[in-house]
Structure 1
Amino acid sequence: MLKSVLFSCILLSFSFLNGQLNEVNNIKTKYISWLTDNTITTYSNSSVKGLYDRYILFGNTAETNVVNNYNFNAPESAWNMTNGTDNGAMVTLVNNHLFYLVMAYHLKGPVINGLPSNPKYHSTALKNMILKVFKYIKDKGINSTTDCNFSLNASQETVNINNSGFGLRCFTYAACVLLMKEELAQTGEFSHHMGVLGNLTSFLDPDNPNFHFTNPGFNTDVVRALIETRLCYVLGQEDTDTDKLANMEFLINFTDNALLIGNGWADFIKPDFTTYHHRGAYANSYGGDALFSMAIMNYILKGSAYELKPVSQTHLKKALMAYQKFSADFEMPRGLAGRFPNSTTPLLDYRYAFALLYAADPVANADAGKFFKRIYTMPQSGFSRNLSVKNPVMAGQIAVNINTTLTPDVPITQGHFGLPYGGLSIHKYNGYQISVKGTSKHIWHYENSASENLFGRYTSAGAMEILSAGSPKTRLSNGLGVANAQGRLTDDGWDWTHIPGVTAAFVPMNELTSGASREFNGRNFLAHASLDDNGVFAMDYKDINSATGMTALKTVFFFKDKALSLGSDIKDTGGTRPVHTTVFQTGLPDASTATVINGTTHTGLNVNFSQNTGSIWATDAVGNGFVIPSGSYTGSVVIKRSAQQSSNQSNTAGTQGNYATAYIDHGTATASGRYRYGIMLQGGTAGTQDFADHLADYFDVIQQNNQAHVVKFVQDQIYNYVIFDAASVFQSDVVVSVDKPSVVMTQSTNAGNRLKVSLTNPNLGLLNDNESYTYSQVTGTASRLYRVPQVNPVKLTLTGKWKLENPMNNITTLITGNKTEVTFNTINGNTIQTSLVPETFLKIQDMETVKNPETFTVYPNPVKENLYITLKKGNTENIKILNMAGRDITSKITVTKGKGNLNLNMQALEKSVYLLCIDGECIKIIKD
């Protein structure tokens, strides 16, 4: 009997293992089909056929190149992979030669009479050449012990990839190894190259003692470069390898963990669904690459026993769909571009990720498919002809299938979106977009390198980008640069000291490049607030690279197609450079492109307007309007049209370009500077003049000082409070005070019987008020780097007696006298919005006059526990229990509904007199 049971267990175990191995091998089949064209036979679409043709063409070129440039018989000295030159040589050989050879070898091409039409498909000559390349890599010393400059920090569970060469591009090599498994095995070389892959991804081994899934999320470099590399390694293992299933299980667990929301400043998906690297937001390169890789993983694993967890799929989708919030068509703000200031169209680079979301689950991700269809059919987009391991022929086929079957979605044309972890506010109206980028003790100001983004110092100093012109909207069509001779966008002549929206010292170019990047400024106030589709950006700004500690309180209030920008308490004690607030800087396509100043049209390149009193209104070079009211600014307003001299972003060449630029010069060593200006998107001459004449009909500035900026949107009666000093008390509206610095927005509706309220806490919940760290202090201490955000209650006091219209688990109310304290349990810098209605009280003497209802009867009364109700007119949903003070305490009872009757369990109520109301009819109940 025992033998029989043991034998059955062995059979079950064997069956289970076989089933799991079959699952892994099915994934392998799907993955190889993704990399090749195994499921494409007809090539009926010319674009897909054209992509295939390019792969074959590049394969032919690679054959010539490897013959002419590599000595396979006597390789030179071994490569040192910690050396940049050798590292680059390996990348070039794999990405520019080996990959194209392998693709040419595996692509069948159109099937004719049941046979592949590609003459290179599995040809002996091409196979031998590919094997020579693999042998060359081996002979150059690449093996299972090669130091590729990776290190794992055991305490922080992060991988330090110290070289940006082969380590970040080894996936192409891994794909080649997997695709050539059979051929490499025939020559006894497969195990060698598997050893290299094993070494590259050794920290993803379940036997690694230094990784324990302690923290959610993971290093974005690893996600974008090495997870798929590890997948190729696992799929390449033999079924007889005893650790194959364990390796697969660990890899999927690792991937699921990487797709969890990263705490603190850790990579890679944040609570607002921006993507992080180097402790800051990166929507291009790092973040976009990682999301694209995870979209491929999700597509490959979907439907298998190793499918990603639902929460992983949700986070992946939300992070990708966030791009439609912060992008206008394809363009996104430079504030999310890290050290690549001219890489601002990630949707063009990663658009196929949305196609893969849809292909993985056409039902749940129908919106992603429709979004892909829209951006795919926009000008400058379409079919991708890039040759890379992320764009095989199968990717093109998936894209074409979606394009021919789905209808496009409707773009977001209106809304206000805050990205607290990105330090970014985005406002959309009528398809226009304005963004404002800030910095704080949580959000670093910018990133550079020795050759990238050298002039990025003011990227987060309130930098405002307006994208309102063109279809599609581009940086060029909106004057955020000028065109070169080929009509392409350049930053030629761009004045890096006069970034629109910024209040900062006007410093020479050589001074602008000095100072540390990736630093926090120690200030706690950076908020991105909203009420419905309107919003507020607010920042207590300090220039961390200013030797004199220049500061300013800055806000922008967004209302429909208009905005109001305020500045106060501008200080630069001891400063030696003038402080400027830049209103606009837009490129002039040619000298005849007109701008308007106070009704006068200007062309040419010799305009130097200056005014230190009175109001000014002007248009930029693309039609946006700007209004600076009289008495609202300190210093003088300067507007120029000129040929500007500058340098490219890497500071390697001087540049020149024609621009219209406007700024307010607050002077040197300013002690109490201020400004105020309105913006009308695409106002043009007539619209801007009307806006200037009626600015007070849109914005009423109630307060603008070092305590608060308070503005009312006059048309919709929305009050906006940016409260820098929690000791402030207000009287203009229902808002009285808050107990912590915050942003409050209110709107009274329904004849005063409904109050919309939103509150935003600028503190992300990561640091206490007295905490502030440098980049290195955050990075070097795990308890800071992985800080878990905490709920931070903020108490708002309102005049009147209010209650929540609908219960919310993160808001409570307490009436004290004729005021109401509304406590918002804030976290992650998110806006919390709710609706309040007046709290009505029924006086105890009114209870004595209540008549018996006609629509229901109750028994027993008095009641000890259960009150039974017979309804004379059927079921009802409107049931209330009021106490003697008239307060609604319905939440304290349990209601069981039957057909024509109700059972109210009143056990939790104290002995007293209560009022039971159903559909407006009430009866006095005695709880015994």
Structure 2
Amino acid sequence: MTIFSFESGIPVCFTCDRHSRLSITNQYYKDGNASLQWDYTENSSVIVTESIGYRPFQEGTKDQARDSFTIWIYNAAAVEGELVFEFGRSGAVDCSFQFGLNFRGWRTAWVAYERDMTGCPHPDMDTVTIRMPMGIQPGTLFIDQMMLNTPIDPRFHTRDFQVPLVNLRADVSANAHWLALYAFEQLAPKHAIPSAVIQEDQDAFGLMNERFEALFFKERRVSKEEITLLQRRFAEYGIARKGGILTGRPIELFFDHYPPLLKEELKRLSNGVQLSEITQFLLETAICFRSCEEEEQQAHLQAMFITVLDYMEDQGWTYGSSQGTVHHFGYNFRDYYPAVFLMRADLKEAGILERTQRTMRWYSGVGRTHTPLAEVEGNIDIYNTTLHGMLASLLIMDDTPEKVRDLKAFCDWLSQSLLPAPGLRAAYKIDGSAYHHVNHYPAYAVGGFQGVTPMMYVLKGTPFRVSREAHETIRKALLSMRLYSNKREWLISLSARHPTGKWALDPEPFAFLAESGTPDGRSEVDTEVAAAYLRLLDPDERTEAAHRFEAMGIIAEPDPNGHWTMNYAALAIHRRGSWLAGMRGHSRYLWANETYVNANLYGRYISHGHLQIMSRGEPVNHQASGYQQDGWDWNRWPGTTTVHKPLEELRASVCNVDTFSGFEEMLLSDETFAGGLHLEGHNGMFAMKLHEHPKYEGSHRARKSAFFFNNRIICLGSGIENDNTANRTETTLFQNHLPIREDPLWIDEAGPIYDFPYFQKKQLDNPTWILDNKGNGYYIPAGQTISVSKATQHSKHQSTDVDTQGDFAAAWLDHGTSPTEGSYAYAILVDTDCGQVKRFYEQMEHPDSAPYKVLRQERSAHVVFDAESCTTAYALFEADDCLGIGYVTAVDTPAMVMIREESGTLTMSAVDPDLRLYEEIEKDQYDRNGIQKEVSVYSRKWVHAKSIAHPMRITLKGQWMLSSPEQGVQVFAGEGDCSVVELICQDGMPKELVLVPIV
């Protein structure tokens, strides 16, 4: 692995033709303080005679990185033509690529040998020839940090104006939103240019400018100390002009091309400044400049700002340059856009606004707004990091008809990108899910909301506002976030690779969305969203928005109460009072866990039917409700049925399985049945067929359900099986942190248990009850083996692997080793006390007074009747033509059904939870023995598929008709005294209807 930095002179392996000259210079450099100067004429060449060390990629390796060539080139003056890089041996050329010279400043290229070059690379290549084109005038190039061969993740190479043929597949990859800048720039505008700028547009420009500026700038006093600090930071960058030449520390972001063993050494050699630091400096300088009143100070601030912009241009942070890669680039560049916007008048006066606007357009990817609407896909990364940059780059244009056209394209693109997306496409779903990494992902969604809602506010009431349907979609997704969060922290099962319990929603997007008005545009303020915002604020938070809303008479909403279904997240949400219970699963469409090499290493079971109760704290939070990372037993997520393994066996073995993904684990099941159902928005259920991926425990299966009625949750399991003879299979009732070791548990009539440590394992000849240390009661029927523990638990940190420990109370049902047809049953009373649990226990002892009855619990079906609500709930894991329980006699599709009877009327809700993104099986997910393989979900073609509509038939006892017509629902007479309800099911969305008897 050879890297040339030219700090020690011209390497002996470098030669040039007799019409050109090589030398070492300190004038330009990308690392150290030297580079190779090449004074060339037409058809000049530089030859490097050195073993390249290229090795073809071997399929099946753990790392998908591809051998690549990288180089930095400084061009003192743009010229027409292209450098040719040839790689070969013994005078023959094996492969080559071209590098455009029409630029000034630094540019780089990352080029994979096997994919991005013309020809066929060979392991014995030992010569690199760099050729100037014919007909070019004499000139000079500077070369630095030339790596003959370095492994690079094949997703990262990014094409630009210098190397437009690099990594063409990236334009349609999961990273396309970052990497397709070149492709975006080639798109032709689809909108016509209006003949003139009408007054309505002119007024809108002024209003949007005013609102956009207010997002980032509020005038204030500027102290001399602040300006001195900015000047000191500027001096640290070493940026200076010397005879028309700009010098300074390199501005860096990416080190993905550095060989791992040399990365730290090369970073030290470059002594670079991080891009995020530079852009933050620009924004802070712009704010100080706009607030400063002294002309001399303003002049210093303006000079620093313009000098940094010029230096960024010289360093290659400019239009048409991709810096080798721009993956995840937006997070480090987002301060650039408002900084330029605030300085727009001064940059125009300096004659560099047009140049800078082109840079903004390029890096924010404004060209994407010309994508045909049918191909537009939303993306939370873009909303979070570059959406404001896209708008800023348009707002700073001169007020021309072209500006009107481009803003109209932006509006249409944004509106389309916010609409409910088909399949697993980003970003928002019909059920309120917010998608990133092909799943519901609140940790990213919160950033998306932070980005998109202020822009909706800026566009509000103008000809460029988002469409009504787009507004309604983002509104539903944002309001859903405050349902699966309590108060601000979302369910741990939704934490993906961040099971810290510390991630939380931000109330501010609620304020921006409220001030964006109602979706129909009739009201200046959305009072429902504003009321949600006021509830989410902490008592001591007094914001300007809160004062405005309260002055309008808006008050904080009460805690949401009800039941909600989000089947694109395989999630059921149940709320009463101030508590939240949520249950989550996974399927062949929705991954079970997201694990990186340094994140969520023990999270394999996080969505194996995880039932979390958040009911404690002021406000309610994870820590007070029982979750704490330190000491947490990663085998025992409440509600899950798992094989309890030693931590070293539970730890993920993370691979880079293909070129579509990085080092990550996102395992899929082969089961389609996972999700929830609600009835009248009040009660609901969750059910799933659990089958663990064969990468770890492919024999592990279970049928799981939970039925939610007011403060009661009835949990059933059947068909529990696996062939693991070494480790016991368990269903966890609870695992709660003990902030005080003496916190009591109540077990039946034994009274409070203050002992620590404590352990009891008991075969239940009779039912029993438990009250945990968080105020939740558990009723456990007889015939099961239960273990209860209070102990100091020893665990591992989910990202660092360091040892952790903590005190916990836990209870679980033991199914033994290698169970067959195992089962469990228990009920939870949420937010209760000993007296209520005891009364519930006593009621369950008498069939006539029992709050619920299990009508069936077997592999094919779990059916429960709730006496208080007179509701029967069915988890029907298989089609069944002779079910005969309650009103349901048959079903032709695995389904969930809830029926409430009142005064001879049936209120019915039903769902086929199968998202039906594809049918049958995918052969490439299975090996020759029919065992499911680990694949990247990003590699699946069905990720973008539309949910397939499916007619489901439920046969009911009796003659029934719809009380009123329902779209997608038909009821007709069946055989005998039966009625058939046919529902067109799609997107896992429940359908609710009211049936009345036919008289």
2:177 corresponding residue in structure 1? none
Structure 1 position 124, deviation (Å)? 2.4
Counterpart among 216, 222, 237 of residue 382 in structure 2:
222
- Counterpart CA distance in 2 for 1:54 and 1:821 is 74
2:447 corresponding residue in structure 1? 289
Asked if 1:703 is matched to 2:863, the reply is no
Deviations 1:765-786 (A, max 9, x none): 323254698685653355x222
Deviates most, 66-75 or 784-793: 66-75
Report sequence identity in percent: 23
- Residue 34 and residue 715 in structure 1: after superposition, are their counterparts in 2 closer, same or farther (change >3 A)? closer
TM-score normalised according to structure 1 size: 0.77
2:302 corresponding residue in structure 1? 127
1:342 aligned partner, one-letter code: T
2:509 aligned partner, one-letter code: A
1:105 aligned partner, one-letter code: F
Asked if 1:180 is matched to 2:180, the reply is no
Are 2:778 and 2:829, in contact at CA under 8 Å, matched by a contact in 1? yes
Secondary structure of residue in 1 paired with 2:623: coil
- Counterpart CA distance in 1 for 2:777 and 2:622 is 18
Are 1:437 and 1:464, in contact at CA under 8 Å, matched by a contact in 2? yes
Are 1:270 and 1:276, in contact at CA under 8 Å, matched by a contact in 2? yes
2:531 corresponding residue in structure 1? 370
- Residue 339 and residue 793 in structure 1: after superposition, are their counterparts in 2 closer, same or farther (change >3 A)? same
Asked if 1:449 is matched to 2:596, the reply is yes
Are 1:522 and 1:772, in contact at CA under 8 Å, matched by a contact in 2? no
Counterpart among 713, 717, 720 of residue 870 in structure 2:
717
Structure 1 position 728, deviation (Å)? 5.3
Secondary structure of residue in 1 paired with 2:828: strand
2:498 aligned partner, one-letter code: F
Structure 1 position 141, deviation (Å)? 3.1
How do 1:331-480 residues align onto structure 2 when only pairs under 5 Å count? 331-342=489-500, 345-347=503-505, 349=506, 351-361=507-517, 363=524, 365-376=526-537, 378-379=538-539, 382-383=541-542, 397-480=544-627
Asked if 1:819 is matched to 2:978, the reply is yes
1:368 aligned partner, one-letter code: V
Asked if 1:726 is matched to 2:879, the reply is yes
Deviations 1:360-415 (A, max 9, x none): 22546111112212222x34x725xxxxxxxxxxxx54454335544323334421
Asked if 1:598 is matched to 2:748, the reply is yes
How do 1:239-258 residues align onto structure 2 when only pairs under 5 Å count? 239=399, 243-258=402-417
1:137 corresponding residue in structure 2? 312
Counterpart among 868, 876, 900 of residue 747 in structure 1:
900
How do 1:786-825 residues align onto structure 2 when only pairs under 5 Å count? 786-816=944-974, 817-825=976-984
- Residue 777 and residue 456 in structure 1: after superposition, are their counterparts in 2 closer, same or farther (change >3 A)? closer
- Residue 609 and residue 767 in structure 1: after superposition, are their counterparts in 2 closer, same or farther (change >3 A)? same
- Residue 269 and residue 413 in structure 1: after superposition, are their counterparts in 2 closer, same or farther (change >3 A)? closer
Secondary structure of residue in 2 paired with 1:326: coil
Secondary structure of residue in 2 paired with 1:346: coil
Asked if 1:654 is matched to 2:654, the reply is no
2:435 aligned partner, one-letter code: Y
1:231 aligned partner, one-letter code: L
1:45 corresponding residue in structure 2? none
- Counterpart CA distance in 1 for 2:225 and 2:940 is 51
1:554 aligned partner, one-letter code: K
2:529 aligned partner, one-letter code: A
Are 1:228 and 1:297, in contact at CA under 8 Å, matched by a contact in 2? yes
Asked if 1:671 is matched to 2:820, the reply is yes
Are 1:216 and 1:260, in contact at CA under 8 Å, matched by a contact in 2? no
Secondary structure of residue in 1 paired with 2:483: helix
Deviates most, 308-317 or 733-742: 308-317
- Counterpart CA distance in 2 for 1:573 and 1:522 is 18
TM-score normalised according to structure 2 size: 0.72
Are 2:330 and 2:382, in contact at CA under 8 Å, matched by a contact in 1? no
Secondary structure of residue in 2 paired with 1:694: helix
1:915 corresponding residue in structure 2? none
- Residue 330 and residue 59 in structure 1: after superposition, are their counterparts in 2 closer, same or farther (change >3 A)? farther
Are 1:148 and 1:200, in contact at CA under 8 Å, matched by a contact in 2? no
How do 1:496-507 residues align onto structure 2 when only pairs under 5 Å count? 496-507=634-645
Structure 1 position 343, deviation (Å)? 5.5
Structure 2 alignment gaps of length 5 or more: 1-192, 257-266, 518-522, 655-664, 926-933
Secondary structure of residue in 2 paired with 1:555: strand
Structure 1 position 717, deviation (Å)? 2.3
2:696 corresponding residue in structure 1? 546
Structure 1 position 63, deviation (Å)? 4.3
- Counterpart CA distance in 1 for 2:781 and 2:279 is 58
- Residue 728 and residue 205 in structure 1: after superposition, are their counterparts in 2 closer, same or farther (change >3 A)? closer
1:320 corresponding residue in structure 2? 478
2:780 aligned partner, one-letter code: I
Asked if 1:583 is matched to 2:759, the reply is no
How do 1:6-85 residues align onto structure 2 when only pairs under 5 Å count? 15-16=196-197, 20=201, 23-37=204-218, 61-68=229-236, 70-72=238-240, 75-76=247-248, 78-79=250-251, 81-83=253-255
How do 1:492-891 residues align onto structure 2 when only pairs under 5 Å count? 492-515=630-653, 517-532=665-680, 533-544=682-693, 545-599=695-749, 600-614=751-765, 615-631=767-783, 633=784, 636-695=785-844, 697-727=850-880, 729-750=882-903, 753-770=904-921, 779-780=938-939, 782=941, 784-816=942-974, 817-840=976-999
1:236 corresponding residue in structure 2? 396
Secondary structure of residue in 1 paired with 2:890: strand
- Counterpart CA distance in 2 for 1:494 and 1:321 is 31
1:848 corresponding residue in structure 2? none
Structure 1 position 530, deviation (Å)? 1.7
- Counterpart CA distance in 1 for 2:296 and 2:668 is 55
- Residue 431 and residue 70 in structure 1: after superposition, are their counterparts in 2 closer, same or farther (change >3 A)? same
- Counterpart CA distance in 1 for 2:420 and 2:861 is 34
- Residue 13 and residue 579 in structure 1: after superposition, are their counterparts in 2 closer, same or farther (change >3 A)? closer
- Counterpart CA distance in 2 for 1:251 and 1:125 is 36
- Counterpart CA distance in 2 for 1:193 and 1:16 is 24
- Counterpart CA distance in 2 for 1:148 and 1:411 is 51
Asked if 1:169 is matched to 2:332, the reply is yes
Are 1:120 and 1:126, in contact at CA under 8 Å, matched by a contact in 2? no
Deviates most, 762-771 or 693-702: 762-771
- Counterpart CA distance in 2 for 1:121 and 1:522 is 69
- Residue 427 and residue 149 in structure 1: after superposition, are their counterparts in 2 closer, same or farther (change >3 A)? farther
- Counterpart CA distance in 2 for 1:81 and 1:146 is 14
